[in-house]
Amino acid sequence: MNDGATGIVFSSGQSWKDHRRFILHTLRDFGVGKYKMEEKIVEEAATLIKLLEAANGQPIDTRAPLSSTVANVIGSVLMGKRYAPDDPVFVDIMRWTREIIEFTPKKIFLASFPYMRHVVPPLKDTYNELLGILHNFKAFFGKPIQEHFENWQPDRNADFIDTYIAAVKEQQPATFNMNELQLTLDDLFEAGFETTTTTLRWAFLLMAAHPDIQSKVHDELDKVIPVGSFVKLSNKEQLPYTEATITEVHRFASVVPMGVNHAAEEDTTIQGYDIPKGTWLQANIYFVHHNTDWWDQPEQFNPDRFLTKDNQVLASDNVMPFGLGKQRCLGEALARAELFIIFTAVMQRFTVRLPERGQAADLTPTMGVIADTQPHQLCFVPRNN
């Protein structure tokens, strides 16, 4: 289906090295981690604020507005596209993504014993459904790639696709080709919006579940940030409790519970287990984030665990929302900027509540490649600052 292409998530060797280096360099060129990208995030956060205001404090599902907000940031970098929450194309993207990442008994069995699809008819149906979704994604990303290719000009590098096409035409690196572009775009876009969206969904649900913590975030923002303005990345040091709260969201939610695949570069033995070269491995990030050896009462949501006595943010190597090692998330800088700016923009302007007074929030994560919240609605009530 992919003509031997592997993208970035499941690649290794020289292709992985070439693409990782190129992606990091290109993202920096397009302003990731710099003021230019900060402006874009603020622009999309402002659009989100208007959507939340339009709900007039009534219960809403945050998935569509948050997804489009985050997707429009990464989409502008990758392919110069943005989508409204109710755009039929974007609605399809969200649906396809959910169907790919959510676990069901059939998907789990199919992942463990893929050959059984030839024996058990229901597994074959599930396999064909997943294959159909992958074809849909291929067609979706194929359209902007084709448009960029047909209109490409040597002196125009408007987005990631333009820059990649230039590299293909120059045949540098040799591992680059149009099939790899399609899969790489898919990997970057899906990972770029789904994980950050889910983290924000957890953040706002946890604020509604813990009004005392939400109040502390409000108080800190009110003391530092003028009414009506947006927080800047340079304000982080002035907002230690807010930063600690976001870190605790990462730990508590463990949005990517098993991280991404790693491959053993050589035969090795770990605690008596022989690991042959080439074996795919995954880090159990959820276990690290909830291990009582490192955390006091890990089942409780408590930002104070990341603050020192003098109110400084306490960093921890045991919080790893973006993975670890060489396969660490390429979009970490962008994701951190989005989370900080969007979270603070909403918290500065709204009190987040559950639809019913006294209602208990369901904080049980879903099972899947991404640990999402259970389906829920929230009320975003404008604050009288």
Whether residue 2 is predicted with pLDDT greater than 60 in this model: the reply is: no
Specify if 1 maps to a domain.
no
Q: Among 127-136, 144-153, 176-185, 321-330, which stretch is predicted with the lowest mean pLDDT? A: 321-330
Residue 4 maps to a domain = no
What is the rounded CA–CA span in Å between residue 328 and residue 332?
Answer: 8
The answer to whether position 115 is within a domain reads yes
Tens-place pLDDT, residues 182-212:
888 888 887 778 899 999 999 999 999 999 9
Mean per-residue pLDDT for 267-290?
89
Task: Report in angstroms the alpha-carbon separations of 125 from 71, 130, 292.
Answer: 30, 9, 42
Question: Tell me, what's the pLDDT at 280?
Answer: 79
* Cα–Cα dist 385/229, whole Å: 12
Q: Which of 114-123, 188-197, 249-258 has the highest mean pLDDT?
A: 249-258
pLDDT bucket at 1, cuts 50 / 70 / 90: very low
Q: Rounded mean pLDDT of 280-300?
A: 92
Percent of all residues in the chain with a pLDDT value above 90, rounded to a whole number: 48
Read off the pLDDT band of 86 (50, 70, 90). confident
Average pLDDT, the chain: 88
| Domain of residue 319, residue span | 13-382
So what's the pLDDT on residue 311?
Answer: 92
Residues contacting 378, CB < 8 A, separation 6+: 59, 60, 62, 204, 205, 208, 352, 353, 354, 355
Q: How many domains, in total, are found in the chain?
A: 1
pLDDT for 156: 79
Burial class (CB in 10 A: 0-12, 13-18, 19+), 381: middle
pTM listed for this prediction: 0.90
- Tell me if 8 is assigned to some domain: no
What is the mean pLDDT of the segment spanning 121-128? 87
Q: Residue 171, by phi and psi: left (phi above 0), alpha (psi -120 to 50) or beta?
A: left
- What is the domain-level CATH number for residue 307? 1.10.630.10
Picking from 8, 23, 374, 3, the residue whose alpha carbon sits closest to that of residue 190 is: 8
Look at residue 167 and tell me if it is in a domain: yes
* pLDDT over 80 at 85, yes or no: yes
Of the candidates 265, 180, 173, which has an alpha carbon nearest to the alpha carbon of residue 6? Answer: 180
Within a domain: residue 3?
Answer: no
- Whether residue 173 is preceded by a cis peptide bond, meaning omega within 30 degrees of 0, is yes
pLDDT of residue 265: 83
Confidence of residue 35 (pLDDT cuts 50, 70, 90): low
